[in-house]
Structure formats: C-alpha cells, structure tokens
Amino acid sequence: MIPAFIITGYLGSGKTTLLLNTAKEHFSGKRVAVIVNELGEVGVDGRILKNAYSEVLELPEGCICCTMHTEFEKALTELKEKYNPELLLVETSGSAEPFPVMISLQNLGCVIEAVICLIDTKNFHLYSQDDTARHQIGSSNVLVLNKTDLVDEDTLKQVEDIVVSLWEKYLLRNLFTNEPVFKSFKLYKTSFGKLPDEVFSGVFALQEKLYHLNDKDHNHNHVQQVVYFDKPLDYEEFLNMVNNLPTNIIRLKGILKLKDLPEALVVNYSFGNLDTSYTLPHYEGRSFLVLIRSFN
Ligand SMILES: Nc1nc2c(ncn2[C@@H]2O[C@H](COP(=O)(O)OP(=O)(O)OP(=O)(O)O)[C@@H](O)[C@H]2O)c(=O)[nH]1
C-alpha cells in the first residue's frame, strides 16, 4: 500500500510552494513520485517540480476531476510499475475538487495519508464564494491558512472563522451512511506552506473506503488561454503588460526567456501580486504565459 498525500487548494494558494519546501525536506531520501494536474494544456508547476523531484508525472489534460479519472488511474499504474515509489504526492489543479483523486488513489491500493488544503488568506475574500474552493475545504482534513505574512491578525481570524464554518458545511460524506468522511480537521497557520512534521506522520490518514457519487454536472468557472512568445521579452515590456491586465484575469503563470537574463523567469501572478523570484537555469522550451480568466 503506497502512502499518498493530496495537496489541494484554490488557484495560487501555495500548493507547489509547499511541495518545493516542507514536503521536499521532510521526504528527502525517499523515492517520492509527484503527480501534478494543471488546468490547461501547458504545465508550469510540473517543470518547476522537476527541478526538485526526480519523478514528476504531469497530467495536463486539464481535469482529473471530471472524465479523466480512468486516465489518471492508467498513468498512476504505469508510474508504479516504472518507478516503484515509496510515496506519492498529488497536487490537484486549483480548479479541481480532490474527491475523484481520493477515489482513484484508493482504487489503486494507496492509503490517503492526508488531504491538505491550502488557503490563500490574503485573497480568500476574492474566491470564498467559489463552489469548487468550498468543496476543496470540505474534502480536506488538514487546513492550511497560508500567506499569513500578508495579512494582519484580524483578517487571519476572520478567514479562520469562515474556513471552519465552510468545512462544517461542505464536509464530504459517505454516500451510504451520510457520515462525514473526516470526523475532524487540523488547522495550521503558515507562510510558504511551512508545516510541522506531524502533518506527514500518518496521524491524518483516511480510514474509510470511499465510493463514487453520481457524476454531477461539473461546471468550471475558469477559462485558460496560453500565449507563446517567439522572441525573448524585454522586462519592462512584460511589467507593463502585467500592470495593464484586465481585472478578470485572476492568475498568470508561465516561463519567460528575457533579454539580458541568462536564466528563464518563472512568472507567478495571482490576484494582482506578481512574483518572479524563481528562475530555471536550463530551460530550453518556448516562452509562454497561461492566463486564467474568471467568469465570476
Ligand atoms: N507572500 C507569500 N507568498 C506566497 C506564499 N505561499 C506561496 N506564495 C507565492 O504565491 C504564488 C503562488 O504559489 P504556488 O505555490 O505556485 O501556488 P499554487 O497553489 O501551486 O498555484 P496553482 O497551481 O496555479 O493553483 C507564488 O508566487 C508563491 O511564491 C506565502 O505564504 N506568502
């Protein structure tokens, strides 16, 4: 039985960041396979994670939450045969609910060690009404109020209260008994997903067998577009573009080769905050940006 952690949470909440620091440190020396599912056909997280983990499986088809679960199970079976991992870390897309992934992992004989939901405390008010975000919270048993460095104590307390009430309201329930799948949760307040070791110790493992619900009408509230750049960009030109983005663009991710910069720049923008602190030294691919628009 392979232990598996599911990392869920809304767009830009810090899932990849968690995988790059705390999880990476905690499991160093183990044969860890990372599975990452991104909205859209171009993966950014996968490329970053390949810098940190030797085995990264990208499932860019867009959506393991709807019709893709057979693809997910096939890919996972191949991964197990090829790599024989001691542990799986699964990052779901920010637009996906974790439940179908939980089912698939159990179908393939994995033990779900925890479902960890990252919450962007700075921007929570902008997405707290989103149905998928609410189900992500209700399907998790480790709630992580992340980006605490960007909010004051009062805001943090408000977000905590809302998240706790959403957890209670959106709790995942056993199809037959209607009992909550998770009887309790643990809440952490962090920045950059720095979680204590206990999260990875198995104390949050899911004991129950899950069952498929009828496929409900699954309606995504986001649309993504990919823009490719054939020539290296000027940094000023790029900043200008970011500063003039329409307000319905809530997320921008990508990898850009810039004039005068030897390493490719990883672009990470969510809700008006731009982060370009991460670079990729040996990136040979095309420059691109994925833009995620909200309909809400
Ligand atoms: N200030 C601050 N920034 C953070 C924190 N955690 C993550 N970030 C930044 O937030 C941005 C998004 O983080 P990611 O880890 O890429 O978020 P994600 O959840 O994987 O994003 P998606 O895969 O698109 O849903 C990056 O620029 C991170 O460096 C935090 O605690 N504080």
In the chain, CATH 3.40.50.300 covers 2-200
Distance 273 CA to ligand 1 centre (A): 10
ipTM > 0.90 for the complex: yes
Rg over CA atoms, the chain: 19
Element (H, E) at 116: strand 110-120
CA distance 149 to 289: 27
Distance 120 CA to ligand 1 centre (A): 8
Q: Which CATH number fits domain 222-294: 3.30.1220.10, 3.30.360.10, 1.10.10.10, 3.40.30.10?
A: 3.30.1220.10
Name the residue with the closest Cα to ligand 1, atom 1: 147
**Which atom belonging to ligand 1 lies closest to the Cα atom of 19?**
15
Q: Is 94 in the pocket of ligand 1 (CB under 6 A)?
A: yes
Q: Hey, what amino acid is at 164?
A: V
Distance 14 CA to ligand 1 centre (A): 4
In the chain, CATH 3.30.1220.10 covers 222-294
Q: Is 254 in the pocket of ligand 1 (CB under 6 A)?
A: no
Q: Which among 8, 16, 144 is the best mutation to test ligand 1's pocket, defined by most ligand atoms within 8 Å of the CB?
A: 16
CATH entry 3.40.50.300 includes domain 2-200 = yes
What does the buried/exposed string (b/e) look like for 237-266 if buried means 16 or more CB atoms within 10 Å of the residue's CB?
ebeeeeeeeeeebbbbbbbbbbeeeeebbb
**Which atom belonging to ligand 1 lies closest to the Cα atom of 18?**
15
Q: Is 40 in the pocket of ligand 1 (CB under 6 A)?
A: no
* pLDDT tens series, the chain, 296 aa: 899 999 999 999 999 999 999 888 899 889 999 988 876 555 667 777 777 787 887 776 554 555 556 777 888 888 888 889 999 999 988 888 888 889 888 888 899 999 999 999 999 999 999 999 999 999 999 999 999 999 999 999 999 999 999 999 999 887 666 788 999 999 999 999 999 999 999 899 998 877 655 444 444 556 677 777 877 888 888 888 888 887 878 888 889 999 888 899 999 998 888 999 899 988 888 888 888 877 65
Q: Is 126 helix (H, G, I), strand (E, B) or coil?
A: helix
Torsion of the alpha carbons at 117, 100, 71 and 266, rounded to the nearest 10: -20
